[in-house]
Structure 1
Amino acid sequence: MNELRPRVLLVEDDVQLRTMLEELFTGEGYEVSSASDGQKGLHLALTGEFDVLVLDRGLPVIDGLSLLTKLRREGVGTAALILSALGNPADRVEGLDAGAEDYLSKPFDVDELLARLRALRRRHAATAATLRIAGGRFDVESRSVVRDDGSIVELSEREGALLEELARWPNRVFGRDEILEYVFPNAEEAGVVDTYVHYLRRKLGRGSVRTVHGLGYRIGTLA
Protein backbone atom coordinates (compact mmCIF):
# COMPACT_ATOMS: atom_id res chain seq x y z
CA MET A 1 0.00 0.00 0.00
CA ASN A 2 1.26 3.47 -0.90
CA GLU A 3 2.17 5.16 2.39
CA LEU A 4 2.48 8.57 0.71
CA ARG A 5 -1.05 8.50 -0.67
CA PRO A 6 -3.46 6.77 1.69
CA ARG A 7 -6.32 5.07 -0.13
CA VAL A 8 -9.97 5.72 0.64
CA LEU A 9 -12.99 3.87 -0.72
CA LEU A 10 -16.01 6.17 -0.98
CA VAL A 11 -19.44 4.59 -1.54
CA GLU A 12 -22.10 7.28 -1.97
CA ASP A 13 -25.10 7.34 -4.32
CA ASP A 14 -25.68 11.11 -4.27
CA VAL A 15 -23.76 12.26 -7.35
CA GLN A 16 -23.25 15.84 -6.15
CA LEU A 17 -22.04 14.80 -2.70
CA ARG A 18 -19.85 12.02 -4.11
CA THR A 19 -18.17 14.42 -6.52
CA MET A 20 -17.59 16.96 -3.74
CA LEU A 21 -16.08 14.33 -1.46
CA GLU A 22 -13.87 12.93 -4.22
CA GLU A 23 -12.43 16.40 -4.78
CA LEU A 24 -12.10 17.01 -1.05
CA PHE A 25 -10.29 13.74 -0.35
CA THR A 26 -8.03 14.11 -3.38
CA GLY A 27 -7.11 17.61 -2.23
CA GLU A 28 -6.18 16.15 1.17
CA GLY A 29 -3.76 13.71 -0.47
CA TYR A 30 -5.93 10.60 -0.62
CA GLU A 31 -6.10 8.24 -3.55
CA VAL A 32 -9.85 7.86 -4.04
CA SER A 33 -11.87 4.97 -5.44
CA SER A 34 -15.63 5.46 -5.50
CA ALA A 35 -18.85 3.60 -6.16
CA SER A 36 -22.48 4.65 -6.45
CA ASP A 37 -24.16 1.59 -4.92
CA GLY A 38 -23.46 -1.10 -2.35
CA GLN A 39 -22.85 -3.90 -4.83
CA LYS A 40 -20.11 -1.99 -6.64
CA GLY A 41 -18.69 -0.90 -3.30
CA LEU A 42 -18.57 -4.50 -2.10
CA HIS A 43 -16.66 -5.55 -5.21
CA LEU A 44 -14.12 -2.75 -4.83
CA ALA A 45 -13.61 -3.40 -1.13
CA LEU A 46 -13.06 -7.13 -1.68
CA THR A 47 -10.65 -6.71 -4.58
CA GLY A 48 -8.65 -3.64 -3.50
CA GLU A 49 -6.60 -2.46 -0.53
CA PHE A 50 -7.73 0.65 1.35
CA ASP A 51 -6.71 2.60 4.45
CA VAL A 52 -10.24 3.73 5.26
CA LEU A 53 -13.81 3.21 4.03
CA VAL A 54 -16.42 5.99 3.85
CA LEU A 55 -19.86 4.44 3.35
CA ASP A 56 -23.23 6.09 2.96
CA ARG A 57 -25.85 4.25 4.99
CA GLY A 58 -28.74 4.65 2.52
CA LEU A 59 -27.18 2.98 -0.51
CA PRO A 60 -29.13 1.29 -3.32
CA VAL A 61 -28.81 -2.47 -4.04
CA ILE A 62 -26.97 -3.16 -0.75
CA ASP A 63 -27.38 -0.63 2.05
CA GLY A 64 -24.31 0.66 3.87
CA LEU A 65 -24.71 -1.37 7.05
CA SER A 66 -25.34 -4.62 5.17
CA LEU A 67 -22.31 -3.85 3.01
CA LEU A 68 -20.13 -3.39 6.06
CA THR A 69 -21.47 -6.56 7.70
CA LYS A 70 -20.59 -8.55 4.57
CA LEU A 71 -17.07 -7.09 4.56
CA ARG A 72 -16.48 -7.93 8.21
CA ARG A 73 -17.65 -11.49 7.58
CA GLU A 74 -15.13 -11.72 4.75
CA GLY A 75 -12.35 -10.63 7.09
CA VAL A 76 -11.99 -7.08 5.77
CA GLY A 77 -10.93 -5.11 8.83
CA THR A 78 -10.34 -1.73 7.19
CA ALA A 79 -11.53 1.13 9.39
CA ALA A 80 -14.95 2.38 8.27
CA LEU A 81 -16.89 5.60 8.75
CA ILE A 82 -20.64 5.62 8.08
CA LEU A 83 -22.32 8.74 6.70
CA SER A 84 -26.06 8.94 7.28
CA ALA A 85 -29.05 11.24 7.47
CA LEU A 86 -30.16 9.06 10.40
CA GLY A 87 -28.42 10.57 13.38
CA ASN A 88 -30.22 9.65 16.57
CA PRO A 89 -28.36 7.59 19.21
CA ALA A 90 -30.09 4.33 18.25
CA ASP A 91 -29.03 4.75 14.62
CA ARG A 92 -25.42 5.42 15.63
CA VAL A 93 -25.40 2.38 17.89
CA GLU A 94 -26.72 0.24 15.04
CA GLY A 95 -23.96 1.50 12.78
CA LEU A 96 -21.23 0.82 15.31
CA ASP A 97 -22.64 -2.63 16.03
CA ALA A 98 -22.48 -3.39 12.30
CA GLY A 99 -18.71 -2.95 12.45
CA ALA A 100 -18.14 0.76 11.83
CA GLU A 101 -15.42 2.55 13.78
CA ASP A 102 -17.16 5.91 13.42
CA TYR A 103 -20.54 7.35 12.43
CA LEU A 104 -21.19 10.88 11.18
CA SER A 105 -24.62 12.40 10.62
CA LYS A 106 -25.55 14.44 7.55
CA PRO A 107 -25.24 17.33 7.10
CA PHE A 108 -21.69 17.31 8.44
CA ASP A 109 -18.85 19.75 8.80
CA VAL A 110 -16.12 19.08 6.23
CA ASP A 111 -13.28 19.79 8.65
CA GLU A 112 -14.80 17.39 11.19
CA LEU A 113 -15.06 14.67 8.54
CA LEU A 114 -11.40 15.06 7.59
CA ALA A 115 -10.35 15.06 11.24
CA ARG A 116 -12.27 11.85 11.85
CA LEU A 117 -10.59 10.20 8.88
CA ARG A 118 -7.18 11.19 10.22
CA ALA A 119 -8.12 9.76 13.62
CA LEU A 120 -9.22 6.48 12.05
CA ARG A 121 -5.93 6.17 10.21
CA ARG A 122 -3.94 6.84 13.39
CA ARG A 123 -6.03 4.32 15.32
CA HIS A 124 -5.51 1.72 12.61
CA ALA A 125 -1.74 2.23 12.72
CA ALA A 126 -1.73 1.88 16.51
CA THR A 127 -3.61 -1.44 16.39
CA ALA A 128 -1.88 -2.97 13.37
CA ALA A 129 -0.24 -5.58 15.62
CA THR A 130 -3.67 -7.20 15.90
CA LEU A 131 -5.13 -8.39 12.60
CA ARG A 132 -8.76 -9.27 12.07
CA ILE A 133 -9.50 -12.67 10.56
CA ALA A 134 -12.99 -13.91 9.79
CA GLY A 135 -13.80 -15.82 12.96
CA GLY A 136 -11.22 -14.22 15.25
CA ARG A 137 -8.11 -12.07 15.62
CA PHE A 138 -4.41 -12.72 15.19
CA ASP A 139 -1.95 -11.17 17.64
CA VAL A 140 1.21 -10.67 15.61
CA GLU A 141 3.50 -10.20 18.59
CA SER A 142 2.46 -13.31 20.52
CA ARG A 143 1.77 -15.38 17.38
CA SER A 144 -1.58 -16.44 18.82
CA VAL A 145 -5.06 -16.55 17.32
CA VAL A 146 -8.02 -15.65 19.51
CA ARG A 147 -11.23 -17.07 18.09
CA ASP A 148 -14.52 -15.24 18.49
CA ASP A 149 -15.56 -17.91 21.01
CA GLY A 150 -12.60 -16.95 23.21
CA SER A 151 -10.42 -19.99 22.55
CA ILE A 152 -6.74 -19.38 21.83
CA VAL A 153 -4.48 -21.17 19.34
CA GLU A 154 -0.72 -20.78 19.60
CA LEU A 155 1.29 -20.78 16.38
CA SER A 156 4.94 -21.46 15.67
CA GLU A 157 7.16 -18.67 14.34
CA ARG A 158 6.84 -19.87 10.75
CA GLU A 159 3.12 -20.56 11.01
CA GLY A 160 2.63 -17.07 12.42
CA ALA A 161 4.74 -15.48 9.68
CA LEU A 162 2.61 -17.12 6.99
CA LEU A 163 -0.67 -16.18 8.66
CA GLU A 164 0.52 -12.60 9.15
CA GLU A 165 1.35 -12.18 5.47
CA LEU A 166 -2.02 -13.52 4.38
CA ALA A 167 -3.97 -11.58 7.03
CA ARG A 168 -2.34 -8.23 6.28
CA TRP A 169 -3.57 -8.48 2.68
CA PRO A 170 -6.96 -10.19 3.04
CA ASN A 171 -8.09 -9.51 -0.53
CA ARG A 172 -4.92 -10.70 -2.22
CA VAL A 173 -4.09 -14.12 -3.64
CA PHE A 174 -0.45 -15.10 -3.09
CA GLY A 175 1.34 -17.44 -5.46
CA ARG A 176 3.64 -20.06 -3.96
CA ASP A 177 6.72 -18.25 -5.26
CA GLU A 178 5.57 -15.01 -3.61
CA ILE A 179 5.02 -16.71 -0.27
CA LEU A 180 8.38 -18.41 -0.56
CA GLU A 181 10.04 -15.03 -1.17
CA TYR A 182 8.18 -13.05 1.48
CA VAL A 183 7.79 -15.62 4.27
CA PHE A 184 10.40 -18.34 3.74
CA PRO A 185 13.32 -16.62 1.94
CA ASN A 186 15.86 -19.13 3.25
CA ALA A 187 13.90 -22.24 2.31
CA GLU A 188 15.39 -24.43 -0.38
CA GLU A 189 12.17 -25.97 -1.70
CA ALA A 190 8.79 -24.45 -2.61
CA GLY A 191 7.11 -27.42 -0.91
CA VAL A 192 7.61 -25.69 2.43
CA VAL A 193 4.72 -23.37 1.50
CA ASP A 194 2.25 -26.25 1.14
CA THR A 195 3.60 -27.81 4.34
CA TYR A 196 2.89 -24.71 6.43
CA VAL A 197 -0.47 -24.15 4.79
CA HIS A 198 -1.28 -27.69 5.96
CA TYR A 199 -0.08 -26.87 9.48
CA LEU A 200 -2.27 -23.74 9.66
CA ARG A 201 -5.31 -25.63 8.42
CA ARG A 202 -4.71 -28.36 10.97
CA LYS A 203 -4.68 -25.82 13.81
CA LEU A 204 -7.23 -23.27 12.57
CA GLY A 205 -9.55 -25.27 10.35
CA ARG A 206 -9.40 -26.24 6.70
CA GLY A 207 -11.08 -23.03 5.59
CA SER A 208 -8.54 -20.81 7.34
CA VAL A 209 -6.40 -20.72 4.18
CA ARG A 210 -8.24 -20.82 0.87
CA THR A 211 -6.78 -22.41 -2.23
CA VAL A 212 -7.42 -20.38 -5.39
CA HIS A 213 -6.82 -22.98 -8.07
CA GLY A 214 -4.16 -22.03 -10.54
CA LEU A 215 -3.15 -18.95 -8.57
CA GLY A 216 -2.19 -19.77 -4.98
CA TYR A 217 -3.53 -19.04 -1.50
CA ARG A 218 -5.44 -16.35 0.37
CA ILE A 219 -6.70 -15.89 3.91
CA GLY A 220 -9.96 -17.65 4.71
CA THR A 221 -12.26 -18.18 7.70
CA LEU A 222 -11.48 -19.79 11.04
CA ALA A 223 -13.39 -22.99 11.78
Structure 2
Amino acid sequence: MRRSGTLLLVEDDADLSETLTEALAGEGYLVDHAPDGQRGLHLGLSRPYDVMVIDRRLPALDGLDLLTRLRKRAVPARALMLTALGSVDDRVAGLDAGADDYLVKPFDLDELSARLRALCRRATDATEALRIGAGLLDLTLRDAVLPTGDRVPLSAREFELLRILAARPSAVHSRAELRRRVFDEAHAASIVDTYVYYLRRKLGRAAVRTVHGLGYRLGEL
Protein backbone atom coordinates (compact mmCIF):
# COMPACT_ATOMS: atom_id res chain seq x y z
CA MET A 1 0.00 0.00 0.00
CA ARG A 2 1.23 3.47 -0.80
CA ARG A 3 2.32 5.35 2.30
CA SER A 4 0.06 8.37 2.86
CA GLY A 5 2.10 10.05 5.60
CA THR A 6 2.90 10.01 9.29
CA LEU A 7 -0.01 11.04 11.51
CA LEU A 8 -0.39 11.87 15.19
CA LEU A 9 -3.88 11.28 16.59
CA VAL A 10 -4.57 12.93 19.96
CA GLU A 11 -8.01 11.76 21.08
CA ASP A 12 -9.21 10.58 24.51
CA ASP A 13 -12.34 8.74 23.33
CA ALA A 14 -11.16 5.13 23.20
CA ASP A 15 -13.81 3.89 20.75
CA LEU A 16 -13.34 6.80 18.35
CA SER A 17 -9.56 6.48 18.58
CA GLU A 18 -9.70 2.81 17.69
CA THR A 19 -12.02 3.48 14.75
CA LEU A 20 -9.89 6.33 13.41
CA THR A 21 -6.60 4.49 13.89
CA GLU A 22 -7.88 1.46 12.00
CA ALA A 23 -9.43 3.55 9.20
CA LEU A 24 -6.40 5.79 8.74
CA ALA A 25 -3.94 2.92 8.89
CA GLY A 26 -6.03 1.26 6.19
CA GLU A 27 -5.44 4.32 4.01
CA GLY A 28 -1.69 4.00 4.40
CA TYR A 29 -0.98 6.38 7.27
CA LEU A 30 1.54 5.49 9.94
CA VAL A 31 -0.53 6.42 13.00
CA ASP A 32 0.66 7.20 16.53
CA HIS A 33 -2.11 7.63 19.11
CA ALA A 34 -1.98 9.76 22.25
CA PRO A 35 -4.90 9.48 24.73
CA ASP A 36 -4.26 12.86 26.37
CA GLY A 37 -2.63 16.21 25.74
CA GLN A 38 0.55 15.53 27.69
CA ARG A 39 1.32 12.39 25.70
CA GLY A 40 0.43 14.27 22.53
CA LEU A 41 2.90 17.01 23.46
CA HIS A 42 5.66 14.48 24.07
CA LEU A 43 5.08 12.72 20.75
CA GLY A 44 4.66 15.97 18.83
CA LEU A 45 7.97 17.30 20.11
CA SER A 46 9.96 14.09 19.78
CA ARG A 47 8.79 12.66 16.44
CA PRO A 48 8.26 14.22 12.99
CA TYR A 49 4.73 14.06 11.58
CA ASP A 50 3.16 15.16 8.32
CA VAL A 51 -0.20 15.85 9.93
CA MET A 52 -1.82 15.87 13.37
CA VAL A 53 -5.46 15.26 14.35
CA ILE A 54 -6.11 16.85 17.74
CA ASP A 55 -9.30 16.76 19.78
CA ARG A 56 -10.34 20.14 21.21
CA ARG A 57 -11.15 18.83 24.70
CA LEU A 58 -8.47 16.58 26.16
CA PRO A 59 -7.47 15.46 29.65
CA ALA A 60 -4.16 16.66 31.15
CA LEU A 61 -3.67 19.35 28.50
CA ASP A 62 -6.40 21.01 26.44
CA GLY A 63 -6.17 20.70 22.67
CA LEU A 64 -5.76 24.45 22.15
CA ASP A 65 -2.99 24.63 24.72
CA LEU A 66 -1.32 21.57 23.20
CA LEU A 67 -1.32 23.04 19.71
CA THR A 68 -0.13 26.43 20.96
CA ARG A 69 2.83 24.78 22.70
CA LEU A 70 3.72 22.77 19.62
CA ARG A 71 3.63 25.86 17.42
CA LYS A 72 5.78 27.79 19.87
CA ARG A 73 8.37 25.02 19.50
CA ALA A 74 8.15 25.44 15.71
CA VAL A 75 6.54 22.03 15.05
CA PRO A 76 5.62 22.32 11.35
CA ALA A 77 3.13 19.43 10.98
CA ARG A 78 -0.26 20.39 9.56
CA ALA A 79 -3.00 20.18 12.20
CA LEU A 80 -6.68 19.35 11.98
CA MET A 81 -8.70 20.00 15.14
CA LEU A 82 -11.70 17.85 16.04
CA THR A 83 -14.36 19.34 18.30
CA ALA A 84 -17.93 19.18 19.44
CA LEU A 85 -17.78 22.97 19.69
CA GLY A 86 -18.98 24.36 16.39
CA SER A 87 -19.41 28.08 16.98
CA VAL A 88 -17.52 30.63 14.94
CA ASP A 89 -15.63 31.78 18.05
CA ASP A 90 -14.50 28.21 18.74
CA ARG A 91 -13.28 27.75 15.18
CA VAL A 92 -11.43 31.06 15.31
CA ALA A 93 -9.78 30.03 18.59
CA GLY A 94 -8.58 26.79 17.01
CA LEU A 95 -7.21 28.51 13.94
CA ASP A 96 -5.53 31.18 16.06
CA ALA A 97 -3.84 28.43 18.08
CA GLY A 98 -2.23 27.13 14.90
CA ALA A 99 -4.75 24.70 13.40
CA ASP A 100 -4.83 24.41 9.62
CA ASP A 101 -8.34 22.96 9.50
CA TYR A 102 -11.29 22.36 11.81
CA LEU A 103 -13.86 19.55 11.77
CA VAL A 104 -16.95 19.45 14.00
CA LYS A 105 -18.15 16.18 15.57
CA PRO A 106 -19.98 14.13 14.50
CA PHE A 107 -18.23 13.93 11.17
CA ASP A 108 -18.10 11.63 8.18
CA LEU A 109 -14.95 9.53 7.80
CA ASP A 110 -14.81 10.27 4.09
CA GLU A 111 -14.74 14.00 4.80
CA LEU A 112 -12.01 13.56 7.40
CA SER A 113 -9.98 11.51 4.93
CA ALA A 114 -10.37 14.12 2.20
CA ARG A 115 -9.30 16.93 4.53
CA LEU A 116 -6.27 14.95 5.68
CA ARG A 117 -5.22 14.23 2.11
CA ALA A 118 -5.40 17.94 1.38
CA LEU A 119 -3.30 18.75 4.46
CA CYS A 120 -0.73 16.11 3.54
CA ARG A 121 -0.45 17.58 0.06
CA ARG A 122 0.13 20.96 1.63
CA ALA A 123 2.71 19.43 3.97
CA THR A 124 4.49 17.78 1.04
CA ASP A 125 4.41 21.01 -0.92
CA ALA A 126 5.16 23.15 2.12
CA THR A 127 8.63 24.02 0.98
CA GLU A 128 7.00 27.38 0.21
CA ALA A 129 6.97 28.25 3.94
CA LEU A 130 8.81 27.48 7.16
CA ARG A 131 7.09 27.95 10.48
CA ILE A 132 8.58 30.31 13.07
CA GLY A 133 6.51 29.89 16.20
CA ALA A 134 3.10 31.30 15.34
CA GLY A 135 4.51 33.04 12.25
CA LEU A 136 6.01 31.94 8.94
CA LEU A 137 8.92 32.52 6.64
CA ASP A 138 7.49 32.68 3.11
CA LEU A 139 10.04 31.07 0.80
CA THR A 140 8.26 32.22 -2.33
CA LEU A 141 7.87 35.91 -1.54
CA ARG A 142 10.95 35.84 0.71
CA ASP A 143 9.42 37.73 3.59
CA ALA A 144 8.27 37.02 7.13
CA VAL A 145 4.60 36.64 8.08
CA LEU A 146 3.78 37.71 11.62
CA PRO A 147 1.05 35.96 13.68
CA THR A 148 -1.15 38.98 12.93
CA GLY A 149 -0.85 38.25 9.21
CA ASP A 150 1.32 41.30 8.56
CA ARG A 151 4.20 40.75 6.15
CA VAL A 152 7.68 42.07 6.85
CA PRO A 153 10.04 42.48 3.86
CA LEU A 154 13.54 41.06 4.34
CA SER A 155 16.78 41.79 2.57
CA ALA A 156 18.48 38.90 0.74
CA ARG A 157 20.95 38.32 3.59
CA GLU A 158 18.31 38.65 6.31
CA PHE A 159 16.12 36.13 4.49
CA GLU A 160 18.92 33.61 4.01
CA LEU A 161 20.05 33.85 7.63
CA LEU A 162 16.50 33.32 8.89
CA ARG A 163 15.91 30.50 6.39
CA ILE A 164 18.91 28.56 7.69
CA LEU A 165 17.74 28.95 11.27
CA ALA A 166 14.13 28.04 10.42
CA ALA A 167 15.10 24.94 8.42
CA ARG A 168 16.47 23.34 11.62
CA PRO A 169 14.59 25.09 14.42
CA SER A 170 16.09 23.11 17.30
CA ALA A 171 19.69 23.34 16.09
CA VAL A 172 22.25 25.82 17.43
CA HIS A 173 24.36 27.38 14.68
CA SER A 174 27.77 28.84 15.46
CA ARG A 175 28.64 32.32 14.26
CA ALA A 176 31.44 30.82 12.16
CA GLU A 177 29.03 28.45 10.41
CA LEU A 178 26.53 31.21 9.70
CA ARG A 179 29.26 33.52 8.40
CA ARG A 180 30.46 30.79 6.06
CA ARG A 181 26.97 29.92 4.77
CA VAL A 182 25.47 33.40 4.46
CA PHE A 183 28.36 35.88 4.34
CA ASP A 184 31.14 33.87 2.72
CA GLU A 185 32.97 36.97 1.54
CA ALA A 186 33.08 38.51 5.04
CA HIS A 187 36.24 38.02 7.08
CA ALA A 188 34.75 38.56 10.55
CA ALA A 189 31.98 36.56 12.19
CA SER A 190 30.70 39.79 13.71
CA ILE A 191 28.73 40.30 10.48
CA VAL A 192 26.35 37.63 11.80
CA ASP A 193 25.69 39.64 14.95
CA THR A 194 24.89 42.68 12.82
CA TYR A 195 22.27 40.83 10.78
CA VAL A 196 20.78 39.18 13.85
CA TYR A 197 20.33 42.72 15.16
CA TYR A 198 18.60 43.69 11.90
CA LEU A 199 16.23 40.71 12.14
CA ARG A 200 15.37 41.44 15.75
CA ARG A 201 14.74 45.08 14.93
CA LYS A 202 12.25 44.06 12.21
CA LEU A 203 10.66 41.00 13.81
CA GLY A 204 11.16 41.41 17.56
CA ARG A 205 13.90 40.27 19.91
CA ALA A 206 12.39 36.80 20.24
CA ALA A 207 12.85 36.03 16.52
CA VAL A 208 16.43 34.81 17.02
CA ARG A 209 17.71 33.31 20.26
CA THR A 210 21.25 33.69 21.52
CA VAL A 211 22.80 30.53 22.98
CA HIS A 212 25.65 31.98 24.98
CA GLY A 213 29.04 30.58 24.08
CA LEU A 214 27.61 28.56 21.18
CA GLY A 215 25.81 30.78 18.68
CA TYR A 216 22.24 31.34 17.54
CA ARG A 217 19.06 29.33 17.07
CA LEU A 218 15.57 30.06 15.80
CA GLY A 219 13.22 31.88 18.14
CA GLU A 220 9.58 32.71 17.49
CA LEU A 221 7.42 35.44 16.01
Query: Is the Cα contact below 8 Å between 2:10 and 2:37 reproduced in 1?
Result: yes
Q: For the residues of structure 2 that align with 1:151 and 1:84, how far apart are their CA atoms?
A: 31
Q: CA deviation at 1:161?
A: 3.5
Q: For the residues of structure 1 that align with 2:4 and 2:214, how far apart are their CA atoms?
A: 29
Q: Deviations over 1:40-60 (max 9, x none)?
A: 212222233221110011100
2:30 maps to which residue? 31
| AA at the equivalent of 1:116 | R
Q: For the residues of structure 2 that align with 1:175 and 1:154, how far apart are their CA atoms?
A: 20
Structure 2: runs of 5 or more not aligned = none
Per the alignment, in what secondary structure is the counterpart of residue 41 of structure 1? helix
Query: Is the Cα contact below 8 Å between 1:5 and 1:29 reproduced in 2?
Result: yes
Q: For the residues of structure 1 that align with 2:31 and 2:172, how far apart are their CA atoms?
A: 25
User: Judging changes above 3 Å, is the alpha-carbon distance between structure 1 residues 206 and 198 closer, same or farther for their aligned structure 2 residues?
Assistant: farther
2:108 maps to which residue? 109
**So what's the TM-score if we normalise by structure 1?**
0.74
User: Judging changes above 3 Å, is the alpha-carbon distance between structure 1 residues 54 and 197 closer, same or farther for their aligned structure 2 residues?
Assistant: farther
Does 2:189 match 1:203?
no
Q: CA deviation at 1:64?
A: 0.9
Q: For the residues of structure 2 that align with 1:5 and 1:213, how far apart are their CA atoms?
A: 41
Per the alignment, in what secondary structure is the counterpart of residue 8 of structure 1? strand
RMSD between superposed Cα atoms in Å: 3.6
1:156 maps to which residue? 156
User: Judging changes above 3 Å, is the alpha-carbon distance between structure 1 residues 87 and 151 closer, same or farther for their aligned structure 2 residues?
Assistant: closer
Q: CA deviation at 1:20?
A: 2.5
Q: How many residues align?
A: 213
Query: Is the Cα contact below 8 Å between 1:197 and 1:209 reproduced in 2?
Result: no
Per the alignment, in what secondary structure is the counterpart of residue 70 of structure 1? helix
**So what's the TM-score if we normalise by structure 2?**
0.74
Q: CA deviation at 1:37?
A: 1.0
Q: For the residues of structure 2 that align with 1:85 and 1:70, how far apart are their CA atoms?
A: 22
Q: Which residues in structure 2 correspond to 1:51-62 (within 5 Å)?
A: 51-62=50-61
Per the alignment, in what secondary structure is the counterpart of residue 181 of structure 2? coil
